[in-house]
Structure 1
C-alpha cells in the first residue's frame, strides 16, 4: 500500500559539489644519505618510517580551499640504524567545495580532500626514490579518517591537560 504524502515532497539536501581545481608540489626534498656517507654493502635492510600531517586553509575566493598533505619519510638500515634516505613532500590541492554543512566542513577538508590527491603524492614519492637510486617506494594507502580522529583526540587531551594545569599569577 502506497503512503500518502499529502502532496508535500520531502526536502532534499543540496548535493555536495567537490572539484579539484589544481594540485601542485609546494616543497620537495630528497636526500640520499647513503651515497653521501658512501655506505655500501648488501646487508642493507631498510626500516621505513612515514609521518603524515595535514593542513587546510580557506582561500580568498568563495568556496575554495587549499589542503596540504605533508609527508616525511625516513629510511634507516635496520642493522646499524644508519640513515639511507629522507624524503619530504608538501603536496597541495586546491578545491572548490559547495553545499557541505559548516559543521562537516573541517572533517571533509581533512579526510576527503587528502584522499583525492593522495595517489598523485604517492606517485611523486615513488618516482623520487627510484630516481634517487633506491627501489621505488610505494606508500600504503593512508587512512585519513583514522588520522583525523587521532588528531582530534590529541587536541582534546592537550586541552584537558592545559585545563588541569595551574594558572600562573
Structure 2
C-alpha cells in the first residue's frame, strides 16, 4: 500500500471532502392558536354516540429574520360527528408552531425538508395535546394516527402541477 508524505494511506488521501451533514435544532415550539368547541355538551345530547372523526392537516413554513431560522406551523382541524345522526359532537382547531435552526441543507431540498422533517418533529407533541384536550373536554382521548408528511407533500405537489397545467391549457374550442 502506498503512503503519502504524512504517513496516511493513499485511500484516505483520495477521498473527497465530505459535505457537511444537515443539522436541525428545535429552538421553540408552542400553540399559536387553539379552539375546542364541545357541541355535544351545548346541545345536551344524551346516550351512547358513535363518532365519525375527520382530520384535516395543513402546513405552513416561512423564513425568519434570523439566519438559518424557520417557522413551521402544523394546522389541524378535527371535526367529530355522530355516525347515526350526523350531528356535530366537537370541533378542535389548532395551529402548533415550531421554530427551527436548519443548517447544511441545499436550497433545492429546503422546501421538502421544512414540510416533511420539521412536522415529523412536532407531531408527537400535537398528538399529546389533542389527546389531552379531547379527554378534558369530556370525550375519550383522541389518539391521532401517524401522519404521512411525505405523502401529504407529494399530494400537494401533484395538486399544484394539475392546477398549473389547467391554467396553462388553451381554452377549448366550441
Shorter-chain TM range is over 0.9
Aligned residue in 2 for 1:55: 60
1:104-155 deviation per Cα after TM superposition (whole angstroms, max 9, x unaligned): 0000000000000100011111110000000000001100000000001001
2:12 matched to 1:15?
Answer: no
CA distance in 2 between counterparts of 1:124 and 1:141 reads 14
Q: CA RMSD in A?
A: 1.7
2:81 matched to 1:76?
Answer: yes
2:131 matched to 1:164?
Answer: no
Name the TM-score, length of structure 1 as normaliser. Answer: 0.93
1:43-69 deviation per Cα after TM superposition (whole angstroms, max 9, x unaligned): x11000000000000000000000000
Alpha-carbon shift at residue 9 of structure 1 (Å):
2.4
Bigger Cα Rg: 2
Q: Give the secondary structure class of the aligned counterpart of 1:29.
A: strand
Name the TM-score, length of structure 2 as normaliser. Answer: 0.90
**Structure 1 runs not aligned, ≥5 long:** none
2:108 matched to 1:107?
Answer: no
**Structure 2 runs not aligned, ≥5 long:** 3-8
Alpha-carbon shift at residue 38 of structure 1 (Å):
1.0
Alpha-carbon shift at residue 7 of structure 1 (Å):
2.9
Q: 1:39 aligns with which of 27, 35, 45?
A: 45
Aligned residue in 2 for 1:29: 35
User: Structure 1 165/137 Cα, relative in aligned 2: closer, same or farther at 3 Å?
Assistant: farther
Aligned pair count reads: 165
Q: Give the secondary structure class of the aligned counterpart of 1:7.
A: helix
CA distance in 1 between counterparts of 2:143 and 2:157 reads 28
CA distance in 2 between counterparts of 1:165 and 1:53 reads 31
Q: Give the secondary structure class of the aligned counterpart of 2:146.
A: coil
